[in-house]
Amino acid sequence: MLDRALMSTFYRLHHSWLVGRLTRLTGNSILAEDLASEVFYRLGTIKHSPEIRSPRAFLTTIARRLIVDLRRRESLEYSYVQAIAQLPEADIPSAEDHSISIETLRIIENLLESMSSKAKAAFIYHRIDGISHTEIADRLSVSISSVRKYIEKADRIFQEYYK
């Protein structure tokens, strides 16, 4: 982890610059402040202190990843809201159920992101689309035993989270 003195120096030297950069990238100064705070928080949680030769490039990399995550979450929420808009009024979930659903979708998305692309695809094809192992193997150009392994690994990831 970066020591406190180094973190303080990083913050003092680069915070204003990062907020300006994020404001230009997002077009929203409040969001930029939030993202900058998250960047420095993430920087402080890095387990092994890396040698940082280009601090601004390093901070920008963290920030861009946060923006990608944010856009992904926004897209997920938008899709959910669009799906709800198609429901009859009597079936529209309460505000509390809506919040729980959004949080559940975020958890699922994060768990899926921890998997390889083939494991993620196999899991979704099988558990959500109901596609057979044989058809998944054809789609992914892998063996049926690989499909089974992918699905078992995904199942373990979800089971571990929900213990």
pLDDT tens digit string along 121-153? 898 899 888 999 999 999 999 999 999 999 998
- The label of the residue with tokens 């939030």 reads 34
11 found inside a domain: yes
| DSSP-assigned letters across all residues of 26-45 | HS-HHHHHHHHHHHHHHHHH
Q: How confident is the model at residue 2 (pLDDT cuts 50, 70, 90)?
A: low
Tens of pLDDT, residues 89-100: 888 888 898 888
Q: Which of 139, 138, 146, 145 is nearest to 116 (CA)?
A: 146
105 found inside a domain: no
85 found inside a domain: yes
104 found inside a domain: no
Domain of residue 53, CATH code? 1.10.1740
Q: How many domains does the chain have?
A: 2
Report pTM. 0.62
Q: How far apart are CA 51 and CA 46, in angstroms?
A: 12
Cα 54 to Cα 40, 59, 133, 150, distances in angstroms: 15, 9, 47, 38
Q: How far apart are CA 27 and CA 35, in angstroms?
A: 12
147 and 79 in a common domain: no
Q: Domain span at residue 45?
A: 1-93
Two tokens, residue 70 = 């944010």
120 and 81 in a common domain: no
106 found inside a domain: no
Compute the mean pLDDT over every residue in the chain, rounded to the nearest whole number. 87
Q: Are 60 and 68 in contact (CB under 8 A)?
A: no
Q: In sequence order, which ranges of 88-143 are alpha helices (DSSP H)? A: 95-113, 117-123, 133-140
Predicted pLDDT at 48: 67
2 and 38 in a common domain: yes
